[in-house]
Amino acid sequence: MQGDSKYNILEAIKRNGGIGLDRLVDKTGLSKTTLREHMLQLERDGLVERTYHRSGPGRPGLRFELTTDGHGRFPSEERELLTDLLRFLKSEGSEAMLHTFFEKFWSKRAERAKAGMDEADDNTAESRLNALSNMLEQEGFMPEIRSGDRPDAIIIKECNCPFRSVIGETQLPCELEIAFYKKIFGSDVARTSYIPEGSHSCTYHIVPRET
């Protein structure tokens, strides 16, 4: 995206911390018609969101701000810092502390997922899975969820791993991801493809336990 009009728009928003359409015209030199088209695409891509700010009487003004994914399009040292932190903790013999941290992190994820699924509009299986899919999408997993080879089975395919830099230092997240799905579904879980082994996705086959 760097160097094209959309990147220039994202950069203008980044530098201003939120910006209206008129100022975007001034900052980018693009017409309002072109900007509207680009903004719709950037919103669909999850990089930009609309906000409304009131600075006086009358209708609130429309502004565009970057989402977390939008901020992620700019250089960051977070990944390198996290990798160095993990290496340091391991070198200091603090692997037990690492294990505790990741267990608590994944436990909170499971609680959040179950709460979201329980709050689904009509509490049908489809709406519950949609709630889970939305959470995974927001986390950056690029999920695909479909029925399995039997009516009560579910296939969850994670096309992206947002923890790649972590996996390079410890595979605890991979182990805990299986436990995550077991916890929220109360089902048997088998991983049938695995990104660290060269697959383009991590895929989980979820089958209810026999009663």
Chain centroid, CA 131 distance in Å: 13
To 5 degrees, how large is the angle CA 73–CA 78–CA 83?
A: 130
Predicted local distance difference test score (pLDDT) of residue 129: 93
Beta bridge partners of 202: 158
180 pLDDT higher than 90:
yes
Mean pLDDT over residues 190-196, rounded?
Answer: 93
Q: What is the pLDDT of residues 103-141, one digit of tens each?
A: 999 999 999 999 999 998 787 889 999 999 999 998 889
77 pLDDT higher than 80:
no
Mean pLDDT over residues 86-102, rounded?
Answer: 88
Question: What distance in Å separates the CA atoms of residue 54 and residue 50, rounded to the nearest whole number?
Answer: 14
Predicted local distance difference test score (pLDDT) of residue 138: 87
70 pLDDT higher than 90:
no
Answer yes or no: same fold for 5-71 and 78-208: no
93 pLDDT higher than 80:
yes
Question: What distance in Å separates the CA atoms of residue 155 and residue 204, rounded to the nearest whole number?
Answer: 6
Residue ranges of domains in the chain = 5-71, 78-208
What are the structure tokens assigned to 34, written together?
């072109």
Fold annotation for 5-71:
Arc Repressor Mutant, subunit A (1.10.10)
Percent of the chain scored above 90 by pLDDT?
47
Looking at domain 78-208, its CATH class is alpha beta
Q: Are strands 154-158 and 202-208 parallel, antiparallel or unpaired?
A: antiparallel
> Mean pLDDT in the chain?
87
Task: Band the pLDDT of 89: cuts 50, 70, 90.
Answer: confident
Instruction: Answer for the pair 106, 177: CB distance below 8 angstroms, yes or no.
Output: yes
Question: What distance in Å separates the CA atoms of residue 35 and residue 40, rounded to the nearest whole number?
Answer: 9
What are the structure tokens assigned to 186, written together?
């109360």
